[in-house]
Structures are given as structure tokens and as C-alpha cells.
């Protein structure tokens, strides 16, 4: 008997009300759970579809108590949820992932130390917290990317650096907060792996995803036989499993990798939650990453996900809502006329350039078919071909 089993009919909670929380809520509700979301925004995408919505800050004692009162277990949907809030909740309820794992993922320096401990290579890097560390950076790290150690996402808090002079100016611009300088690598591709790990240590994974980023934001994900060479696939899965096991992780974890010119694989970063690059699983796989999150949280069994359709995912950013300066709704009817298109919109009330508004999953009988339909959809929407 699994002592952690939480049966449908109970309430599952999530810290954060963004799109990932919304898709978790949908998956939990479909399986017969009630849901509660903690997010201060009354219009948050997840708050608006959840049975309960606690509208307080993430560290508000009353809010946290209210969430713990109504939930049998609690998860998180964004990595910047304060780790102390998870520790407070964990005194009363099972919390997955745990505060310790989230705290490591929140800090690029600790994250890289963990990767190395697990024997997984990352880009050469240096910590910059002091003037002395800034001055003693090795030449080999330039050109590089300066990244804030904490609170970065979608390429925010990052600056590309060519010279020492630029490095000093960029660190000033980032208010001299703790940063990591990474050597700029020549990438031939990027990929990611989503794993789910139960409290008993059982692990399953989605097939690795090939990702295309534009301007530091994920633009396109493709999943199908041959998109990533088989030996890289094995390595990426092994590395991701080692990283999850090393954290004694419970929940869904995504690890992003760079593929270099010589075929070697280098880890970029991890997200302690479902990930944008795993959204294809909602339509291309028999178990989505959000169902995996529900299963790990509720102590339900994990079965190996089976991809049933080659899938291409297009991210739908707020830019698509503008024709020049005029805001409009993108031509959904024309897109949905294409067979195999599945539209997911997050219910955000206003569009802004770069804001993640939704995604379009395109499934096909073959990867070629999914790709050609996705390219047709991209042309209709005004997304650059890939």
C-alpha cells in the first residue's frame, strides 16, 4: 500500500496561478480532484479555473494556512515561488517538489554545482558576486553570457558579453546582483527531457524534445523519431534521471540541454515543474506532463508515457495579437481548419509582445506531416518558418 496515496475527490493545491498552474488544474479536475490555487492576481489563468483561489502573496501566513487547510497535498508551478513558503506548507501537508530541490533550481550557481555532482557537464562558468571575482574572470569565458543567479526567465536578466569592459558595464546594469558568467557555446541544437519521479523513487520520462529558441524564448518544439540522434537521446535521459535522483526529487522536472558541434551534450538548466517544451505531450502522448504532475503529487502509479503522434508545438506569443499597433485576435478559424491542430490559450486578459499567451500543438501521422501542417499554421499566424 502506498501510504501517500491521495484518492480522487480530495483537493490538490498549487502555488502560482500562471498557465502551468492552469494546465495542472485542468488535469487534476479531469481526474476527479478538486483544486486550489494560491496567487495574488484575481485574474490569474489558474485562479480563474480552480475550485478555490487564495488571493494572497506567496509568503502571506494566512494565505498559506488557508491553502494547507483545504488541500491534501501541494505542488508549485513556477520556480520562483519562495522556497520558505514551501517549507511552511510542508510542516502540514506533503509538498512536491520539496523546498530543497526548488531552492537549488532557483539559483544558477547551486544548480550547476548539483549538475557537476551528478557527473553531468555544463558550459564553463564563473560566479560573479564581488569586484574581485569580476576582475579575475578567465579570458576563456569570453565571449560569454552574463546571467543573474536568481529570478531569470525567458532570457530576462541575461546579457551577451564580448569584452571585459562590456562585462563590467553589464554587471553594473544588473545592479551588481550575484551573477553567473557562462562561456558562449556554439550550439547546433537544443533539447530537453521531462521526467516524473514518485515518492518511492520510480521514474518515467517523456521522449526528448528538440527545441528552437528565438530571442531567448522557446519558439518551436518538435518530437518524433529521429529529431535527435539515438545516442544523444539515451545520454539526455540518463543525465536527467541522474539529476532528479540526486535531488531525491518528487514531481515533474525538466532539464534543458545544448548539443554542440562535436555531438557532445551539455546541460543548460532545470525547471522544477512541467515545462513549456513538454506541452506537446497534451496532444501527442497518452499521458501529459500535467497528468504526471498530478500522479506524482497524489502518489498514483507512474506508467511509461507512450507518444502516439509525432508532434510540433508552436508557442503563441503576444506579438501575434498585434497588426502594427492595432490589437486583434489571431485568425484561429483559418488555423483550426488544418487537420491535427490543437489550440491551447491560457485566458490571459491582455496581450504583450513576448508574453506567452498559448500554444498550438500540431499532430500528424508522421513528423513530416506534422511539420508541414505546423509550417502552414505558422504562415497563417505570421510566425517565422523553422
Residues that bind ligand ATP (CB under 6 A): 123, 145, 147, 152-156, 158, 182, 184-185, 187, 190, 213, 216, 256, 268-269
Query: Nine-digit cell at 334?
Result: 483559418
Task: Give the separation between CA 287 and CA 53, rounded to whole angstroms.
Answer: 26
Using DSSP bridges, classify how beta strands 11-15 and 34-38 pair: parallel, antiparallel or unpaired.
Answer: parallel
Q: Using the minimum distance from each CB to ligand ATP, give the nearer residue, 160 or 328.
A: 160
What is the nearest approach in angstroms of ligand ATP to the Cβ of residue 211? 7
Q: Using the minimum distance from each CB to ligand ATP, give the nearer residue, 76 or 158.
A: 158
Q: Are 14 and 76 in contact (CB under 8 A)?
A: yes
Q: Using the minimum distance from each CB to ligand ATP, give the nearer residue, 8 or 178.
A: 178
- The one-character DSSP state at 47 is G
Q: Using the minimum distance from each CB to ligand ATP, give the nearer residue, 184 or 381.
A: 184
What is the nearest approach in angstroms of ligand ATP to the Cβ of residue 60? 26
What is the nearest approach in angstroms of ligand ATP to the Cβ of residue 154? 4
State residue 100 phi and psi, 5-degree precision.
-65, -45
What is the nearest approach in angstroms of ligand ATP to the Cβ of residue 176? 19
What is the nearest approach in angstroms of ligand ATP to the Cβ of residue 332? 25
Query: Nine-digit cell at 243?
Result: 539529476
Nearest CA to 189 among 205, 210, 219, 218? 210
Nearest CA to 155 among 316, 354, 317? 354
What is the nearest approach in angstroms of ligand ATP to the Cβ of residue 256? 6
Starting from the edge strand earliest in sequence, which strands make up the sheet with 125-128, in order? Answer: 125-128, 179-183, 144-148, 158-161
What is the nearest approach in angstroms of ligand ATP to the Cβ of residue 190? 5
What is the nearest approach in angstroms of ligand ATP to the Cβ of residue 124? 9
State residue 375 phi and psi, 5-degree precision.
-65, -35
Q: Using the minimum distance from each CB to ligand ATP, give the nearer residue, 34 or 109.
A: 109
Q: Using the minimum distance from each CB to ligand ATP, give the nearer residue, 73 or 185.
A: 185
- The one-character DSSP state at 51 is S
Q: Using the minimum distance from each CB to ligand ATP, give the nearer residue, 180 or 287.
A: 180
Task: Give the separation between CA 171 and CA 150, rounded to whole angstroms.
Answer: 14
Q: Using the minimum distance from each CB to ligand ATP, give the nearer residue, 44 or 158.
A: 158
A 10 A CB-CB count for 72 gives 20
217: which strand partners? 214
Q: What are the angstrom distances between the C-alpha of 303 and each of 18, 50, 181?
A: 27, 26, 39
What is the nearest approach in angstroms of ligand ATP to the Cβ of residue 373? 25
Q: Using the minimum distance from each CB to ligand ATP, give the nearer residue, 277 or 373.
A: 277
What is the nearest approach in angstroms of ligand ATP to the Cβ of residue 29? 27
Query: Nine-digit cell at 165?
Result: 569592459
Q: What are the angstrom distances between the C-alpha of 76 and each of 12, 33, 105?
A: 11, 16, 13
HSE (side-chain half, CA atoms, 13 Å) at 23: 25
Nearest CA to 90 among 11, 15, 152? 15
Q: Are 279 and 291 in contact (CB under 8 A)?
A: no
For the chain, the residue count is 386
Q: Using the minimum distance from each CB to ligand ATP, give the nearer residue, 107 or 269.
A: 269
| Torsion sign (Cα): 316, 273, 370, 236 | positive
Amino acid at each position: 500500500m502506498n501510504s501517500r496515496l491521495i484518492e480522487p475527490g480530495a483537493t490538490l493545491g498549487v502555488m502560482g496561478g500562471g498557465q502551468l498552474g492552469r494546465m495542472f488544474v485542468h488535469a487534476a479536475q479531469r481526474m476527479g480532484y478538486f483544486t486550489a490555487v494560491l496567487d495574488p492576481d484575481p485574474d490569474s489563468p489558474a485562479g480563474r479555473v480552480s475550485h478555490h483561489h487564495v488571493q494572497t502573496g506567496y509568503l502571506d501566513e494566512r494565505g498559506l494556512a488557508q491553502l494547507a487547510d483545504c488541500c491534501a497535498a501541494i505542488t508549485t508551478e513556477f520556480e520562483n515561488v519562495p522556497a520558505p513558503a514551501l517549507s511552511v506548507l510542508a510542516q502540514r501537508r506533503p509538498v512536491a517538489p520539496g523546498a530543497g530541490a526548488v531552492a537549488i533550481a532557483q539559483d544558477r550557481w547551486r544548480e550547476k554545482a548539483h549538475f557537476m555532482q551528478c557527473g553531468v557537464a555544463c558550459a564553463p562558468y564563473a560566479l560573479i558576486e564581488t569586484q574581485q571575482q569580476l576582475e579575475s574572470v578567465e579570458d576563456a569565458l569570453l565571449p560569454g553570457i552574463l546571467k543573474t543567479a536568481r529570478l531569470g526567465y525567458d532570457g530576462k536578466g541575461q546579457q551577451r558579453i564580448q569584452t571585459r569592459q562590456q562585462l563590467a558595464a553589464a554587471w553594473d546594469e544588473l545592479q551588481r546582483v550575484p551573477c553567473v558568467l557562462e562561456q558562449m557555446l556554439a550550439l547546433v541544437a537544443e533539447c530537453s527531457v521531462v521526467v516524473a519521479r514518485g515518492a518511492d523513487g520510480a521514474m518515467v520520462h517523456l521522449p526528448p524534445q528538440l527545441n528552437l529558441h528565438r530571442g531567448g524564448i522557446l519558439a518551436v518544439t518538435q518530437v518524433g523519431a529521429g529529431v535527435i540522434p539515438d545516442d544523444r537521446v539515451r545520454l539526455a535521459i540518463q543525465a536527467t534521471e541522474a539529476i532528479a535522483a540526486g535531488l531525491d526529487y518528487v514531481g515533474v522536472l525538466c532539464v534543458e540541454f545544448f548539443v554542440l558541434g562535436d555531438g557532445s551534450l551539455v546541460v543548460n538548466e532545470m525547471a522544477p515543474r512541467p515545462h513549456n517544451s513538454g506541452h506537446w505531450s497534451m496532444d501527442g502522448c497518452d499521458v501529459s506532463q500535467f497528468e504526471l504532475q498530478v500522479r506524482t503529487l497524489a502518489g498514483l502509479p507512474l506508467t511509461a508515457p507512450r507518444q502516439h503522434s509525432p508532434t510540433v508545438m508552436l508557442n503563441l506569443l503576444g506579438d501575434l495579437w498585434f497588426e502594427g499597433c492595432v490589437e486583434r485576435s489571431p485568425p484561429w478559424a483559418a488555423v483550426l481548419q488544418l487537420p491535427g491542430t490543437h489550440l491551447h490559450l491560457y485566458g490571459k486578459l491582455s496581450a504583450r509582445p513576448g508574453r506567452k499567451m498559448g500554444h498550438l500543438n500540431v499532430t500528424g501521422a508522421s513528423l513530416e506531416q506534422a511539420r508541414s501542417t505546423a509550417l502552414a499554421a505558422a504562415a497563417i499566424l505570421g510566425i517565422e518558418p523553422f
